[in-house]
Structure 1
Amino acid sequence: MGNLQATNLTCEYRANPLGIGVLSPRLSWQLESDRRGTLQQGYRIVVSEDAGAPVTSLWDTGYVASEESIQIEYAGPELNSRTRYLWKVKVWDTAGNESDWSGSAWFETTLLGKEEWKASWITPAASFLAPETEAAFLLRKGFRADRPIASARIYATAAGAYELYANGNRVSEDVLAPGWTSYPTRLQYQTYDATDLLRQGDNAIGIHLGDGWYRSGIGFEGRNFKYGEKRAALLQLHVRYEDGGEEIVVSDESWSCETSPVVYSTIYHGEEYDARLEQEGWSEAGFEDGGWGPAEAADLPMDRLVPQENWPTRVTETIRPIAALLTPAGDRVLDMGQNMVGRIRMRVEASAGTRIVLRHAEVLDRDGNIYFGNLRPARQTVVYTAKGEGREEYAPHFTFMGFRYVKVEGYPGLPGDELPLDAFLGEVIHSDMEPAGSFETSDDRVNKLQSNIRWGQRGNFLDVPTDCPQRDERLGWTGDAQVFIRTALFNYHGGPFFAKWLRDLKAEQHPDGGVPFVIPDVAGGASSAAWGDAAVICPWEVYRYYGDKRLLAEQFESMKAWVDYIRAQGDNEYLWNTGFHFGDWLGLDAKEGSYVGATPRELIATAYYAYSSRLVADAARVLGRPEEEAKYRELHERVVGAYREEFLSATGRVASPTQTAHVLTLMFDLADEAVRPRIAKDLNDLIVENGYHLTTGFVGTPYLCFVLSNHGYHQSAVKLLLQESYPGWLYSVAMGATTIWEHWDSLKPDGSFWSDDMNSFNHYAYGAIGDWMYRKVAGLDMAAEAPAYKRIHIEPLFGARALTYAKATHRSPYGIVESGWTIRGDEIEVNAVVPPNASAEIILRGATAAGLTEGGLPLSEAEGIRSVDEQADGVRLVVGSGSYTFRYENADLLRQKYTEHTVVLDLLSDPDAKELLQRHLPHLFEGALINIVKSSSLKQLSENGMARVPRETVDALLAALSG
């Protein structure tokens, strides 16, 4: 059997998921093998109900001849509600090896039918507590279990945000459950295992109920946006006894209610907590609740309930403050060292009634004072009132803040005393996605940029993909999500995250197919190109990363409806030249006082029209819908034709002389292939003429470096990446950023700010550069025809001398994939990791088959290499699974250095030029020409048929450059 094994078993993206509501759950696994070129030939799955011994198979696939190992649909008998199922798998590979059975994994169903809900929505009786009461509510119920308990499950949710307790203990680590969905149509409920928290005898269940997104003021209107007037809770507890009996405890009018010490809490403004109002033991059995009021039924529908889809929101990391500051204004301020999203957990000993105020902000101003201007009306303030009984500890319950700095008022001590750092702890909160990708280079600045991208994603992926986490916004902007989704899915496992959000998008899509600007929709508004296109781009990218055909099929009608909506908008059905559009939002070529870049909005709208129609056709092909594929393929061709006629000249001139217009034309393949080199050159000229600075906004920026690299201008793309002056990705890094900014100059060199109106320091959209870094710099991509990295494409572009090392690693559905390279002198080493049951195409630019080794062996002797194709610009390999190390001398690098060397020799004949070289260019030639000499590569240059360089000329050059 060798070492072949099926491992990392998952069901619906999760390992051992509790509370799934899918009737045909999908099963996936990965292969382990130390043999190169391992490919699965077949599998066998066995599923059984976890009903104790003996175990009887419910579904046995028998041997299935297939290399598929992800998204295998359960096709056995109908599953029962509230039941745990065990499953295992064994596999065979193409070399004839058969694995042992994997270890058992499990999945457990939730309430699979609406009729199984016996509970009622409850809220405090209006005669006892007015619905508009600002304080959070406490709801409790005591009950008795008269026999030993075998298991207990709680199914719960809220119109609001809730924390669940059993016998005085938190039932889960979830924060802000049930999350934010399109509440009028979809409300998630959670499933919790409470077995270890209950006992034979007296028990109690408690619910702490706050406003959350449901009743907080969300949006731009400055009012309390309410999905409903009343907060309410819904809970159903199933207790199974060891003797086989069962008891159900439900939320109903027998529950008792009271107000919480959380006297005020909203998403934007923060929370106020009065510890003097705490009721010790309120969720424990035996608590005297005689003074509490009754609950009453709340008239809320049951048909919108859906089982938890997204990763739960949790505290995922804790951070200690790095400094306690006393600002010039005399404020005591904590510096967390990182712009984070979450809350502060505080410890304090203070007399009863002491009020401690925490005000959260992202940056300091030029004078070193804490800056709140960019928060707009959002207060981001926490107020804690001490009860005065020794050491107290508190963290907010129903809110979150975006911040690096915290102004602390009222903490015990004199005004000038330094705050005790060990009394404060930052708790990072976001959807608890599994980390998936990593990226690093030889340039620490680029590594910091990657860190900033990841922190920006963590801060803004808090149940929905928000634009920013601090000001009075925090909304699920569609445009931001679609430009960033590929970067997001590389860095974190976002399948459940985007599946949940896309279902909300579909639910809130307008009857005519238009898509709101934000999802969930609390802002209103019409549909804009590049924003509404999230309806098409996002499900397609989720399919690409995870092979999720089910989600693609589920969203397909929504995808079509968006493209059909566009078709109905324009004066010409193949141009979109009407309506409102954000355009190239925040483009730097905008007119004074405008947020919209100079690229014509109808050009952008039509470009995206073409792109989305093409993706819908591609989705139809994947789903096996040939008629719809033909329809949208023809539409795409007609839109491209209309675009060319309207916005391009026959010779390759783009009507709009902006960077973004050129970028979209090339990225979306809107120009005839014959004129694309002209357009690419024009784009590169625009970049060079602007001193290697971009002018693109939200629409053009994500694709800019891709277009340059794809059309022979990778050097220019790298120079843009490494640009430290404004505007450039490393400008914010040089200015001390720890997340991605909304504006290229959110903080100006003199310490002043871009504006107060719209100036987030945690705004992930421009972090979309990450996708290019992973796919082009490190060279890690997937083949166009095979999703989920089943067939990997590795093609690093390492021609830029500024970087000598890069590596990208990603946890794909098949396992770890990796592409990394290092340049040592003129030798390149490329490392690739291909997981079992996958293969890779590897393109090594500048290599020759004769000069290429793998693991120190000639290619002909290396295991796992299926084919070798020597091409004009390098070598193309196809390899099976395994870890590979390729080494070769790069003729491209030698040729590039020789060209620079020749230029220097020509200039040295002129004494004035020699002086200029010595004065202005030593950094360039110390990095290139002198290294050639020191590494004795002159001989290599000659052997490559380039030229012999006289020794005396080299000596003269070295003498000149050394001064």
Structure 2
Amino acid sequence: MTLDALGNAHFITARADRHVAPRFWIEADLDHPRSDVVGAVLRATAHGVYEARIDGRPVSDSVLDPGWTAYEWRLPYQEHDVRDLVATGSGAVRLDLVLGNGWYRGDLAFAGANANYGDVISVAAVLEVTYRDGSVQRIITDANWSAAASDTTRNSLYNGQTIDARRRHVTAPPLEVLEVDVERGRLVPQSGPPVLRHETFQPTAIWTSPTGRTLVDFGQNLVGWLRLTVKGPEGTQIEIRHAEVLEDGELGTRPLRAAEARDVFILSGGVDTFEPTLTFHGFRYVEVRGWPGDLSPDSLEAVVVHSEMRRTGHFSCSEPLVNQLIHNSVWGQKGNFLSVPTDCPQRDERLGWTGDLAAYAASACFQFDSADFLDNWLADLLAETAHSPDRAVPLVVPDALKYATFPEDFEMPPWTATAVWGDAAIWVPQALWTAYGDADRLASHYPAMKLHLASVQRYISPTGLWDLGHQLGDWLDPDAPPDQPADAKADPHVVATTCLYRSATFAAEVAGIIGESEDATRWTQLAERTRAAFNEHYVDGGIIKSDCATVYALAIAFGVLDDEDRGRAGDRLAAIVRDAGHRVTTGFAGTPFVTWALSETGHVDDAYALLLEKECPSWLYPVTMGATTVWERWDSMLPDGTINPGEMTSFNHYALGAVADWIYQVVGGIRPAAAGYTRVRIQPVPGPGITWAETSYECRHGMISAAWHTDDGGFTLDVALPDGLHAEIVLPDGRVEQVVGGVHRLTTAH
């Protein structure tokens, strides 16, 4: 990428109220007739979000461009092929740019942090037109452009958007256009997928609440906005409030905290169409005020918005509640993979918490092709880490929290190396490597791995344990008080030390793959020291310090235990799970691995019972309560239908849905036997409560499918593989078959 990707285009802004979305435009004469245009490209980016139109027509289907990145070091520009727009029509070409606050001036974060990257938003663009004779004309943004307030008088990602249709029919007073100095060395071509509109939902129910308010249910907790066409008296104001749940028959807005999630549409008196594309909301329900006349299901629709991702994994089984759990995981990923992988999409937060993704990355890569999306995010992670205090991985990426202005009575955790959260620098590339096998990208992620491990080493005590510094531990342990989410049963240093072992082990493997032999030795030695220290200080006869499900799950799943202790630990974990009535007792750290640890130590029945439990806390409890996405807390909604009293309660949070990875690989049976599924292991492990399962995954080599069922006569497995793909099929009776491509049926007797 050259530094003049935008040519001589200047970043421009307008002197306007910060809530207004200014509109910039120019009408430029072309050097040749439009019929002579053989190519036209618009390159643009912004501090904020922009929408571009040529002669009144959108230049692309993408929204919220350029998305959210670590703006200080990476500002992506988009390249739109606009030949058809420029080549048609006649006379001067008109280019319009609408500029919104987006994430750059989004008053981001929580507890009144109001984090912003700057006070001034700006946009830059160059329209490059190529003619039949080979000549090139460039139309660039500069102070000569015109500007005025658009029909958007208020725009905020958290609070919503106000659109005044009356402004579409009048000439707004001009605004002063100013050129802004932006460091052009941070410009990079867009590498992440665009944010697009996807499905639309019609209302499933419209009714009047106990207090007389009009409520609408779209049947699915989703992320996006409403689109509507309406006619009413000029000046009529329609207000739309959004929420994920109902409480006491009314819109349940308390979990939104300070986010207003409120769109306002002001009618022109004619037929008006509204679509608030400078914001987004997480919602299933809306409250509508001020609608002229009767509100019918045809009056409005919900538009689903997220980054472009291709669905690659599917699963279904004999238990409908598990199918709904997988549905909820898929929709949680849709809602939270919007430009960056967020924790939640609805309240005053929506940040790229690294711990959430560390837990969920493997599930994400099975459900959707997440390669480009996560690779782009990891580029931000590297930039943020390299410039951070202690060169430690931030808790959120991009790290808007460094601009937060929290009130004095609010305490953020110290910014040091943090297990699980910091380990995202290694675990997310591990998930990508496992799913896609891209060695070049793996190498590009390695510098962040080194930074993370180097930052951790400063907090390793002479014992060899990672027991110094601050930890978030097993976040949201279900036994923790609602207002103390870090108050877990698992000793945070036991958690941290197991995580260090896993990270050092994979970093050593990566170093070997990319030819960094000295580093491979260094990280191998770190892993060996960590393993020895863990077993010396934390393990006694298979009993692990703090003796709870999470510490056993991590120690077993990460391979930190000696063989003899591993068996004992598996038995102890199973006993803990049974003693809890197969209700979940783990938080963010332990939940992705507890079923793995059970099934890998011979306790398959307990793993299935844990998965299929319906009482709270469990994976299926939210499903029985009508959830259509994964919740942040096991009890985000209490059995009586009231919302958890904690200040941190989301109904769309994918981290605890990380059990999906185990479901796909163990219940479904499709497992990678080598990076990128160049070899496959088909090994479904049946268990009580599920009598059949069907799973498919479209890897880089084609579609893999496995379908099994049990009956009185035994077990039947049907497998379909892409041509040439080597697979090892392991049956429940221990029989192993080696096959290459094609369709196969295998059976076993009881």
TM range (shorter): over 0.9
Match of 1:888 in 2: 748
- Give 2:288's aligned amino acid: V
Partner of 2:410: none
Indicate yes or no: 2:544 matched with 1:659.
Answer: no
CA-to-aligned-CA distance 1:574-627 (integer Å, 9 cap, x gap): 211111111111112336853121111111111111111111101112112222
Say yes or no: does 1:614 pair with 2:511.
no
Shift of 1:279: 4.8
Query: What letter is aligned with 2:156?
Result: T
- Alignment root-mean-square deviation, CA: 1.6
* Aligned counterparts of 2:5 and 2:259: Cα–Cα separation in 1: 42
2:398 maps to what in 1? 520
Is residue 567–residue 574 contact of structure 1 (8 Å, CA) maintained in 2? no
Structure 1: unaligned runs, 5 residues or longer: 1-111, 281-287, 847-873, 892-963
2 CA distance for matches of 1:590 and 1:225?
A: 29
Alignment TM-score, normalising by the size of structure 1 = 0.74
| Counterparts of 1:535 and 1:204, CA distance in 2 | 45
Residue 845 (structure 1) aligned with residue 726 (structure 2): no
Q: 2:369: which partner in 1? A: 493
1:65-121 CA-to-partner distances (Å, cap 9, x unmatched) read xxxxxxxxxxxxxxxxxxxxxxxxxxxxxxxxxxxxxxxxxxxxxxx3114532333
What's the CA shift string for 1:547-579, capped at 9, x where partnerless?
A: 121221112121011111111113227211111
Deviation per CA, 1:12-69, whole angstroms, max 9, x where unpaired? xxxxxxxxxxxxxxxxxxxxxxxxxxxxxxxxxxxxxxxxxxxxxxxxxxxxxxxxxx
Q: Indicate yes or no: 2:72 matched with 1:184.
A: yes
The counterpart of 1:625, out of the listed 487, 498, 516, is 516
Shift of 1:409: 0.4
1:505 correspondence with 2:394: no
1:828: how far off?
A: 1.8
Question: TM-score with structure 2 length normalisation?
Answer: 0.95
CA contact (8 A) 1:188 1:307 kept: yes
* Aligned: 1:590 with 2:475: no
Which amino acid is the alignment partner of residue 169 of structure 1? R
Query: Which residue, out of 879, 882, 886, partners 2:739?
Result: 879
Distance 1:244 1:315, change over 3 A: same
Whole-Å separation in 2 of the counterparts to 1:493 and 1:884: 26
Amino acid aligned to 1:704: V
Following the alignment from structure 1 to structure 2, what is the Cα–Cα distance between the partners of residues 279 and 466? 38
Matches within 5 A, 1:273-292: 273-279=163-169, 292=174
Q: Is the 8 A contact 1:172 1:192 kept in 2?
A: yes
Structure 2 counterpart of 1:21: none
1:357 and 2:239 are equivalent in the alignment: yes
Identity, in percent, stands at 36
Q: 1:511 to 1:551 in 2, by over 3 A?
A: farther
Distance 1:238 1:614 in 2: 49
Matched to 2:257, the amino acid is R
Give distance in 1, aligned partners of 2:565 and 2:192.
45
Deviations 1:750-797 (A, max 9, x none): 1122125111011101110100000000110001xx211110011110
Read off the aligned partner of 1:160 and give its amino acid letter: G
| Aligned position for 2:291 | 411
> Which residue number corresponds to residue 105 of structure 2?
215
1:32 equivalent in structure 2: none
State the partner residue of 1:48.
Answer: none
CA offsets per residue over residues 393-421 of structure 1, 9 Å max, x none? 101021000001100000013xxx6x211
Name the larger-Rg structure.
1
- The amino acid that maps onto 1:119 is N
**2-side partners of 1:487 and 1:423: how far apart?**
37
1:345–1:427 contact (8 Å) kept in structure 2 = yes
Residue 29 of structure 2 is aligned with which of 144, 147, 157? Answer: 144
* Partner Cα distance (1:662, 1:223) in 2: 37
Letter paired with 1:357 = E
Q: Is the 8 A contact 2:608 2:688 kept in 1?
A: no
Structure 1 distance, partners of 2:145, 2:160, is: 29
Residue 239, structure 1, aligned to residue 239, structure 2: no
How many angstroms does 1:749 deviate by?
A: 1.4
1:162 maps to: 50
Query: Are the counterparts in 2 of residues 266 and 398 from structure 1 also a CA contact under 8 Å?
Result: yes
How many Å apart are 1:337 and its aligned residue? 0.5
Of 499, 523, 527 in structure 2, the residue corresponding to residue 636 of structure 1 is 527
1:392-449 superposed Cα distances (whole Å, 9 cap, x missing partner): 1101021000001100000013xxx6x2110110000000111111011011111111
Distance 1:420 1:593, change over 3 A: closer
For residues 115 and 371 of structure 1, the distance between their equivalents in structure 2, rounded to whole angstroms, comes to 49
Matches for 1:774-793 after TM superposition, within 5 Å: 774-783=664-673, 786-793=674-681
Q: Is the counterpart of residue 314 in structure 1 residue 192 in structure 2?
A: no
Q: Which moved more, 1:461-470 or 1:191-200?
A: 191-200
1:738-753 matches, cutoff 5 A: 738-753=628-643
Cα pair distance change 1:593/1:359, threshold 3 Å: closer
Q: Does 1:341 align with 2:223?
A: yes
C-alpha distance in structure 2 between counterparts of 1:396 and 1:221, whole Å: 26
Does structure 1 residue 303 correspond to structure 2 residue 185? yes
Count of residues in correspondence between the two structures: 730
In 2, Cα distance between the equivalents of 1:557 and 1:299? Answer: 31
Taking the TM superposition and a 5 Å limit, the aligned residue runs for 1:530-929 are 530-572=420-462, 574-590=464-480, 594-596=484-486, 597-649=488-540, 651-783=541-673, 786-798=674-686, 800-846=687-733, 874-889=734-749, 891=750
Q: Which residue of 2 aligns with 1:451?
A: 327
The answer on 1:134 being equivalent to 2:19 is yes
Cα separation, 1, equivalents of 2:455 and 2:78: 36
Letter of the 2:537 partner, please give it. E
Cα distance in 2, alignment partners of residues 705 and 669 from structure 1: 15
Deviations 1:922-957 (A, max 9, x none): xxxxxxxxxxxxxxxxxxxxxxxxxxxxxxxxxxxx
Q: Point out the more displaced range, 574-583 or 335-344.
A: 574-583
Residues of 2 paired with 1:760 and 1:437: CA distance? 25
Cα distance in 2 for residues equivalent to 1:620 and 1:836? 32
CA distance 1:293–1:656, shift in 2 (3 Å): closer
- Matched position secondary structure for 1:643: helix
Matched, 1:379 2:260: yes
Q: Is the Cα–Cα contact under 8 Å of residues 313 and 368 in structure 2 kept in the other structure?
A: yes
Distance 1:680 1:223 in 2: 44
C-alpha separation in 1, matches of 2:662 and 2:251: 35
Distance in 2 between residues matched to 1:163 and 1:408, nearest whole Å: 27
Judge conservation of contact 2:63–2:196 (CA < 8 Å) in 1: yes
Give the aligned residue type for 1:883: V
CA distance in 2 between counterparts of 1:767 and 1:699 reads 12
Question: In 1, Cα distance between the equivalents of 2:289 and 2:361?
Answer: 40
CA distance in 1, matches of 2:395, 2:81: 38
Matched, 1:436 2:312: yes
Q: Which residue of 2 aligns with 1:122?
A: 11
User: RCO greater where, 1 or 2, for CA within 8 Å and sep 6 or more?
Assistant: 2
Which of 345, 352, 356 does residue 469 from structure 1 map onto?
A: 345
2:411 maps to what in 1?
none
Residue 65 of structure 2 aligns with an amino acid whose one-letter code is A
Take 1:279 and 1:618, find their aligned partners in 2: how far apart are those partners?
Answer: 63
The alpha-carbon deviation at position 711 of structure 1 amounts to 0.7
**Aligned AA for 2:38?**
A
Provide the rounded CA distance (Å) in 1 between the counterparts of 2:131 and 2:642.
66
Give the Cα–Cα distance (whole angstroms) in 1 for the partners of residues 592 and 13 of structure 2: 50
2:482–2:645 contact (8 Å) kept in structure 1: no
The residue correspondences of 1:417-428 to structure 2 (distance < 5 A) are: 419-428=295-304
Match of 1:476, SS state, is coil
Deviation at 1:662, TM superposition (A): 1.1
**1:515 aligned partner, one-letter code:** V
User: In the alignment, residue 198 of structure 1 is paired with which amino acid?
Assistant: V
